Amino acid sequence: MPYRAVVVGASGYSGAELLRLLAGHPAIEVSAATSREFAGADIATVYPNLAAYAGRSFVALDEADLEAADIVFLALPHGASMAVGAPLAAAGGRIVDFSADFRLADAGLYRTWYGAEHSAPEWLGKWVYGLPELHRDQIRGAALVANPGCYPTAATLALAPLLAAGLIEPAGITIAASSGVSGAGRGMNAGVHFSHVDASVKAYGLGTHKHTPEIEQELSIAAGAATTVTFVPHLVPTARGLLATCVARLAAGATAASVRDAVAERYAGEPFVRATPSPPETKYVSGSNGAHVHATADERTGAAIVVCAIDNLGKGAAGQALQNANLMLGLDETAGLTAGGIYP
């Protein structure tokens, strides 16, 4: 009998992507998909791509029996998630949370970067940070998993192996990352108007993006030392796709070859992360849970350069959430996630 999943906030881009993936999952079925905006509407009418859900409707949150679910995916915005997640956690629920609400172990960092008090600080530090390539053993069998942000996923996959191996310095790291527009969600504002975004590229949130402390938390763990990053995200005219370009100082003795090899060895057995012989392109992982990483160095300037490509809605959100759920439920980690990227 399949596991029953509830997807809360299923009409956002990440939630709908999870519905798409779950439609092909061999061991999990969707018992309810909630949406505040579209409760009562046929799922396949709101998202005509989700033909597998024709005849089923989104429901309101209070119509979904979260406690009866084997797993609950919370695909809610930051701030809204903790209000649902904290009581459900207290009730013993098994949860993958897409928001940032339970990612940071430190309530002070939450306050600083999110500009608000955390309403359930007692839960911080009790959720596992759901990046399986770093924390697989803890995720396996865990009940509470905080699914990483899209930028932190790419940046951490790129840099953690080199920090762990002592091949780069933990100070002076620069991360310039580019994301497709779906990363900003389904909400409307002038910044996502097609006529504005098309044929344009911009940087935003220079040094102030909320994903920064999350990146630093994970890199510091990997490095075993406090690590800070200067993070500059960019918006590029694609719907999906995220590329993180990371530049760090080479440690003494490190070379282009040693950083390349360290990444290749680190990910040799991973089902979703591949070390690629040339710099990755986001299109090759589009629609998939894949992450492509390429590491080299500019030995002339003493800089390691590591680039990681993911689909922000795949490995950067719904794909990774499902990977976490598979681990939590004791299923094959790749179940429902074997599809290759859509190319061209």
List the catalytic residues. 150
Cα dist from 297 to 59, 156, 160, 245, 246, whole Å: 51, 18, 16, 12, 11
Taking the complex as a whole, the smallest distance from the CB of residue 82 to a second copy amounts, in Å, to 25
Non-local CB neighbours of 15 within 8 Å, separated by 6+ positions:
7, 8, 9, 33, 35, 73, 75, 98, 318
Taking the complex as a whole, the smallest distance from the CB of residue 303 to a second copy amounts, in Å, to 4
Nearer to a second copy, 87 or 340 (CB): 340
Cα dist from 45 to 10, 22, 40, 176, 241, whole Å: 14, 18, 11, 38, 26
DSSP 271: S
Region of residue 55 (left: phi > 0; alpha: psi -120 to 50; beta: else): left
Inter-residue contact 35 to 14 (CB < 8 Å): no
> Of 317, 159, 178, which Cα lies nearest the Cα of 242?
178
Nearer to a second copy, 32 or 309 (CB): 309
Taking the complex as a whole, the smallest distance from the CB of residue 41 to a second copy amounts, in Å, to 12
Six-digit token pair at 148?
């990483």
Nearer to a second copy, 61 or 270 (CB): 270
Region of residue 296 (left: phi > 0; alpha: psi -120 to 50; beta: else): beta
Inter-residue contact 318 to 312 (CB < 8 Å): no
Nearer to a second copy, 64 or 248 (CB): 248
Nearer to a second copy, 39 or 339 (CB): 339
> Of 128, 98, 141, 136, which Cα lies nearest the Cα of 270?
136
Six-digit token pair at 153?
């996923």
Taking the complex as a whole, the smallest distance from the CB of residue 120 to a second copy amounts, in Å, to 27
Inter-residue contact 75 to 10 (CB < 8 Å): yes
Taking the complex as a whole, the smallest distance from the CB of residue 162 to a second copy amounts, in Å, to 15
Six-digit token pair at 322?
């499902």
Nearer to a second copy, 95 or 306 (CB): 306
Helices (H), 27-131: 43-46, 80-90, 107-114
What is the distance in angstroms between the CA of the first residue and the CA of the last residue of the chain? 37
Taking the complex as a whole, the smallest distance from the CB of residue 87 to a second copy amounts, in Å, to 32
Taking the complex as a whole, the smallest distance from the CB of residue 276 to a second copy amounts, in Å, to 6
Nearer to a second copy, 89 or 322 (CB): 322
Give the count of beta carbons closer than 10 Å to the beta carbon of residue 299.
Answer: 13
